[in-house]
């Protein structure tokens, strides 16, 4: 059956139709029509009056939602997270792990491998750690930090595809790990790191082109060594993950980075933990107690930010209000930059031949419908 979404604003990288229509056939986008064109016939017509159609969001850094964490290794938890993310417009998700023992990481990936596909798409996982700097752990557990080990990654990748590994660029063996990950088709990224620019550059020369949760738990810009923040701004081809909850990064820094870098290389992420989508209260992250209150998740001991409770539609709303950039530009940072960074074909645009992964947002940035492969999987 052909599905036609009509009377909606259509926004995709470089495209903004005030009134348009999207035709879906066999799980892919068949055509995009503007308001003045004759509409093709379809057996299923959906009225999108007052709504904006955008490519489904891609969240490459998310630990949990709905009081579940992927590292719980719970099949119900994986389903609940993957379905819950649809409510914020996410159609593709990288389950993100924590700095934990290999056996626990393996159990997590084995559980994800049994996912029934009923929510958003899970093409692979993001290993955040365990090869980080113990002095830059943030909310990661320092007890399980270890040196880079390509063989550990290889073993985990055999269980379920590893799409991305985030580690400290200054760690012993980090350049060699970078090169090996690139050979394996896995994206190397730097995070939880005290690397100087020169240490990052050694990994950059081996293929590192990503910085995870940019500005957080990484060396700041300084006039004697530009550090990782400076590296992200200086190197044009480096992709930046960005937590735009206005807590991890202040509005002025959000505006500055978008002005210097542009949306093409910025990936909006949630870095959400199990308290996302839940009421305020006490939760855990990697076994560490966390207090979620007033839109922030912080370690109970010390008060450090412990992931977020951010949702991707809210991240987009924040960035739109802060930067005032056209939505046809900002939409690059919700999905297409992620698809480019990870080498995921056929997602991130509303164009003929692309997957029919679509989110319909209302004027208040609330998600009204989420489609995966042309199927409505969430409806408010």
Residue 139 pLDDT:
85
Lowest mean pLDDT among 30-39, 40-49, 235-244, 357-366: 30-39
Percent of the chain with pLDDT over 70: 100
Residue 213 known to bind ligand:
yes
Q: How confident is the model at residue 301 (pLDDT cuts 50, 70, 90)?
A: confident
Task: Give catalytic status of residue 271 as yes or no.
Answer: yes
Write a three-state SS string for 69-134. Answer: EHHHCCHHHHHHHHHHHHHHCEEEEEEEECCCCHHHHHHHHHHHHCCCCCCCECCCEEEECCCCCH
Does residue 266 carry a pLDDT above 80?
A: yes
Question: Which domains does the chain carry?
Answer: 3-54+348-379 (2.30.40.10), 57-342 (3.20.20.140)
Burial per residue of 122-131, b for 16 or more beta-carbon CB atoms within 10 angstroms, e otherwise: bebbbbbbbb
Residue 128 known to bind ligand:
yes
Q: What is the rounded distance in angstroms from the CA atom of residue 332 to the CA atom of residue 217?
A: 25
Those residues whose C-beta lies under 8 Å from the C-beta of residue 375, and which sit 6 or more positions away, are: 27
Does residue 286 carry a pLDDT above 90?
A: no
Residue 63 known to bind ligand:
no
Tell me what the pLDDT averaged over the chain comes to: 96
**What average pLDDT does this structure show over 269-289?**
93
Q: What is the rounded distance in angstroms from the CA atom of residue 227 to the CA atom of residue 238?
A: 14
Q: Which of 260, 287, 257, 263 lies closest to 273 in space, CA to CA?
A: 287
Q: What is the DSSP letter of 47?
A: E
Question: Which of 69, 245, 271, 357 is flagged as catalytic?
Answer: 271
Residue range 115-137, pLDDT digits in tens = 999 999 999 999 999 999 999 99
CB atoms < 10 A from the CB of 134, how many? 15
Contact call for residues 73 and 111 (beta carbons, < 8 A): yes
DSSP string, 281-293: EEEEETTEEEEEE
Residue 285 pLDDT:
86
Helix (H, G, I), strand (E, B) or coil at 157: helix
Residue range 158-199, pLDDT digits in tens = 999 999 999 999 999 999 999 999 999 999 999 999 999 999
Residue 288 pLDDT:
83
Q: What is the rounded distance in angstroms from the CA atom of residue 51 to the CA atom of residue 363?
A: 7
Q: Which of 309, 357, 368, 355 lies closest to 87 in space, CA to CA?
A: 368
Q: In angstroms, how far is the first alpha carbon of the chain from the final one?
A: 23
Residue range 55-70, pLDDT digits in tens = 999 999 999 999 999 9
**Residue 265: is the preceding peptide bond cis (ω within 30°)?**
no
Taking every pair of Cα atoms in the chain, the longest distance, rounded to a whole number of angstroms, is 64
Strand partners, 21: 33
Q: How confident is the model at residue 36 (pLDDT cuts 50, 70, 90)?
A: confident
Lowest mean pLDDT among 103-117, 187-201, 288-302, 330-344: 288-302
Does residue 369 carry a pLDDT above 90?
A: yes
How many CA within 13 A on the CB side of residue 221? Answer: 11
The length of the chain is 380
Contact call for residues 125 and 348 (beta carbons, < 8 A): no
């Amino acid at each position: 059956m052909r599905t036609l979404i009509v009377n909606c604003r259509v926004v995709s990288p470089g495209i903004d139709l005030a009134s348009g229509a999207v035709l879906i056939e066999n799980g892919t986008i068949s055509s995009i029509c503007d308001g003045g064109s004759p509409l093709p016939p379809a057996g299923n017509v959906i009225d999108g009056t007052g709504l904006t159609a955008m490519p489904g969001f891609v969240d490459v850094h998310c630990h949990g939602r709905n009081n579940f964490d992927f590292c719980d290794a719970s099949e119900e938890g994986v389903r609940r997270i993957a379905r819950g993310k649809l409510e914020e417009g996410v159609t593709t998700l990288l389950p993100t792990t924590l700095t934990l023992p290999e056996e626990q990481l393996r159990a997590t990936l084995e559980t994800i491998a049994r996912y029934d596909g009923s929510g958003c798409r899970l093409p692979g996982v993001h290993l955040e750690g365990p090869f980080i700097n113990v002095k830059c752990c943030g909310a990661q557990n320092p007890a399980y930090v270890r040196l880079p080990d390509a063989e550990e990654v290889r073993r985990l990748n055999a269980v379920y595809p590893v799409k991305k590994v985030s580690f400290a660029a200054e760690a012993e063996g980090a350049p060699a790990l970078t090169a090996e990950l690139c050979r394996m088709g896995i994206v190397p990224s730097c995070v939880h790191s005290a690397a100087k620019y020169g240490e990052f550059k050694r990994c950059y020369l081996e293929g590192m082109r990503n910085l995870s949760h940019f500005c957080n738990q990484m060396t700041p810009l300084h006039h004697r060594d530009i550090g990782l923040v400076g590296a992200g701004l200086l190197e044009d081809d480096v992709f930046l993950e960005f937590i735009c909850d206005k807590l991890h990064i202040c509005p002025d820094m959000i505006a500055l980075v978008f002005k210097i870098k542009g949306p093409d290389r910025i990936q909006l992420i949630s870095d959400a933990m199990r308290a996302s989508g839940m009421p305020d209260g006490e939760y855990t992250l990697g076994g560490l107690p966390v207090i979620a209150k007033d839109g922030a998740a912080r370690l109970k001991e010390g008060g450090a930010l412990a992931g977020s409770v951010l949702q991707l539609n809210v991240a987009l709303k924040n960035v739109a209000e802060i930067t005032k950039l056209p939505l046809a530009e900002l939409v690059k940072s919700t999905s297409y930059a992620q698809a480019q960074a990870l080498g995921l074909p056929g997602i991130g645009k509303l164009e003929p031949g692309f997957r029919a992964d679509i989110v319909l947002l209302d004027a208040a940035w609330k998600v009204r419908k989420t489609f995966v492969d042309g199927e409505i999987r969430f409806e408010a």
